[in-house]
Structure 1
């Protein structure tokens, strides 16, 4: 098997289709924004924050998520959202990422002075300015940079999550928690569809994120039906903290085009309900369904290791079985700050741990571009993907990589 050097990993064109804006700030920027906005952090230097909040490993998912209280708190202004979006694009481009799909929950960032449209415009402008600057200076024989924005609804929230959720919960005090969560999701779907139709903001998809166990995807079916009618793409966090049934709901109830994480896709022992088929057959058929429809799995290796205590080593990750089953998979970072990772690190981990051939690697890269929720018309996407794959082949030849 060929060895893929760090220089080769850096040079090849890549995508990150699963990266959270509020989990991917530069740590120095977080400190700057906290000082400017009066947000108190556990430490006001990088070493202190790496020790107390943004670690290399976490005890559990709750500890992993603790940092988001600080990042979302500093992002409730246009200037802050613009800055972190611009920097995120630049950081990715510096490691060979040509296409980025940035996701976040707008309702976590909205406030009395920051509307849904304000949030989306600020993020879009930061990404757009970075993209345009890079494209003005890139060599003509290299593929263009681009981006998309994915809006996340939350599977679960309380009034303490954000000013928006506080106000929404107060206005619906006679609704059940499920009705409140589903209602906020539907409001976001309406807003996304309207803004996509009446602006040039590059909104490309809708996502469902947050606590998975006990908060089924089916509660958000109306939201997903609405965004589908608005011709938006759909992805769902599923199989990250729950089993195959969560993924089943994502692809059947919500008609997901992609799956975020999918870690527990093969875990028969996590099936909770009774089915006509035995559990082994149920999982086998689910995997086959996903494979046949080329529903792409957005794999986040480092993040999964940090949030899944039962996963003792990377060798145990279901990514190995995804490769064996020839699923459409692409590597992603999830949260660059919280997971202390980069896309090149994720590829290094994968290539050092799993039996990935040159053909497998090219397929992963191709899936990222082909299954992206590209904003522009399909003929333009085809030409762009072709330019990317031609560029990949050129880089591979330079490094002596043969399929």
Structure 2
């Protein structure tokens, strides 16, 4: 198995296509933002928050998601939100990440009582990311062509579920306004509002909203319920990814593909676990998984792999070598290494690559393929021709870095 140094991993061009803004704040900044906005945190020191909230290990997905109530609370302030987006881009640039797709649920941050609507939320995030991009791309290395430029896209997340109170001011108000609707109808309505707004802001305001995601609790809230929402995205050339095969089995991935026109799959981890298939008509579970994996591979539908996050939210996964990333590699599925949540999972893109390369047999050619998928399977905010040219520049740089580190 080849050995890759931390220096090489940092130097090589990278992307992060599954990156939650509200799960990736700097801890020091979170404390400052909370003081500025009058938000009460369980502790006011980095050490205290690491002990009580942002842990190295979590008992389950519920405890993991508990962290977001604090980050979302401080991000309902547009200065804090723009700062968080700016710092996230900077943090990625500092570890050699050239392209990021930042995703979040804008409706979690809307607070109409404070004058915060969806347009303001989207502009704040875009302003922070754009400022960081422009600063980076003014550097001599980029201008002289020695390094690829930095670029980004924004993915808006619709929520699979939310409660009638306490989830966020927007969702609480929506339930109050539509109290005669069934809860699932309110949830779907919110998702449709989001996708329509995303297309409008992309087309009229020039905000690089490149994709739609479906996040939140998978079990009990199947992707098929959001078919119309994804049809709208599909019909308006908005690309599509879904959290699927994270806490629900292979059928979740199948639904994402067949009901929601998925261009990529978020996580996909549990699609290789036969015991998680619950549909009674699927009698040969191994064959079903094999066929699904073959379809994904053949169509080059990329899976956004989040190793540390999966380790933290799946108690049964007690050894990284048991991760289904191995199965994805064996089935030749297009895989992209991602962080999920830099703060909540205490990770970076470099850490995720190191974890993958130290524990799975990935020759240099295969590593270059994984890096390439990060650029080629991105939802790049430009034409296909522009994306190809950008990917080509990044992969030529990969070859230069590999040569510099005596890897051939």
TM over 0.5: yes
Is 2:353 the partner of 1:351?
no
Match of 1:152 among 130, 150, 157: 157
Aligned to 1:119: 121
Match of 1:327 among 333, 342, 363: 333
Deviations 1:349-370 (A, max 9, x none): 1111111111111010000000
Distance (Å, rounded) in 2 between the aligned partners of 1:287 and 1:49 = 40
Distance (Å, rounded) in 1 between the aligned partners of 2:373 and 2:283 = 31
Aligned to 1:189: 195
Distance (Å, rounded) in 1 between the aligned partners of 2:377 and 2:230 = 19
What displacement does 1:126 show? 0.3
What displacement does 1:250 show? 0.5
What displacement does 1:199 show? 1.2
Q: Compare 166-175 and 16-25 and name the one that shifted more.
A: 166-175
Aligned to 1:128: 130
Deviations 1:174-231 (A, max 9, x none): 1111111111111111111111111111110000000011110011111101011111
Q: In 1, are the aligned partners of 2:242 and 2:264 still within 8 Å (CA)?
A: yes
Distance (Å, rounded) in 1 between the aligned partners of 2:358 and 2:286 = 30
What displacement does 1:171 show? 1.1
Match of 2:248 among 239, 242, 252: 242
What displacement does 1:138 show? 4.3
Runs of 4+ in 1 over 6 A off after TM superposition: none
Instruction: Look up the SS of the partner of 2:260 in the other structure.
Output: coil
Distance (Å, rounded) in 1 between the aligned partners of 2:36 and 2:135 = 27
What displacement does 1:275 show? 2.8
Q: Which runs of 5+ in 1 are unaligned?
A: none
Distance (Å, rounded) in 1 between the aligned partners of 2:140 and 2:191 = 39
Q: In 2, are the aligned partners of 1:153 and 1:208 still within 8 Å (CA)?
A: yes
Q: In 2, are the aligned partners of 1:39 and 1:73 still within 8 Å (CA)?
A: yes
What displacement does 1:276 show? 5.9
Q: What is the aligned residue count? A: 402
What displacement does 1:274 show? 2.4
Deviations 1:14-56 (A, max 9, x none): 0000010000000011000100111100000000000000011
Q: Compare 277-286 and 314-323 and name the one that shifted more.
A: 277-286
Aligned to 2:378: 372
Q: Compare 279-288 and 34-43 and name the one that shifted more.
A: 279-288
Q: In 2, are the aligned partners of 1:221 and 1:253 still within 8 Å (CA)?
A: yes
Q: In 2, are the aligned partners of 1:193 and 1:230 still within 8 Å (CA)?
A: yes
Q: TM-score, normalised by structure 2?
A: 0.97
Is 2:303 the partner of 1:297?
yes
Q: Quote the RMSD (CA, aligned, Å).
A: 0.9
Distance (Å, rounded) in 2 between the aligned partners of 1:400 and 1:294 = 30
Aligned to 2:97: 97
Distance (Å, rounded) in 2 between the aligned partners of 1:291 and 1:15 = 20
Aligned to 1:164: 170
Aligned to 2:388: 382
Distance (Å, rounded) in 1 between the aligned partners of 2:140 and 2:70 = 35
Aligned to 1:77: 77
Q: In 1, are the aligned partners of 2:2 and 2:362 still within 8 Å (CA)?
A: no
Distance (Å, rounded) in 2 between the aligned partners of 1:230 and 1:163 = 29
Q: In 2, are the aligned partners of 1:2 and 1:401 still within 8 Å (CA)?
A: no
Q: In 1, are the aligned partners of 2:336 and 2:374 still within 8 Å (CA)?
A: yes
Distance (Å, rounded) in 2 between the aligned partners of 1:295 and 1:322 = 12
Distance (Å, rounded) in 2 between the aligned partners of 1:175 and 1:311 = 40
| 1:23-42 correspondence to structure 2 within 5 Å | 23-42=23-42
Q: Which runs of 5+ in 2 are unaligned?
A: none
Distance (Å, rounded) in 1 between the aligned partners of 2:174 and 2:109 = 14
Q: In 1, are the aligned partners of 2:37 and 2:77 still within 8 Å (CA)?
A: no
Instruction: Look up the SS of the partner of 1:206 in the other structure.
Output: strand
Aligned to 2:185: 179
Distance (Å, rounded) in 1 between the aligned partners of 2:179 and 2:292 = 39
Aligned to 2:221: 215
Aligned to 2:264: 258
Distance (Å, rounded) in 2 between the aligned partners of 1:30 and 1:265 = 35
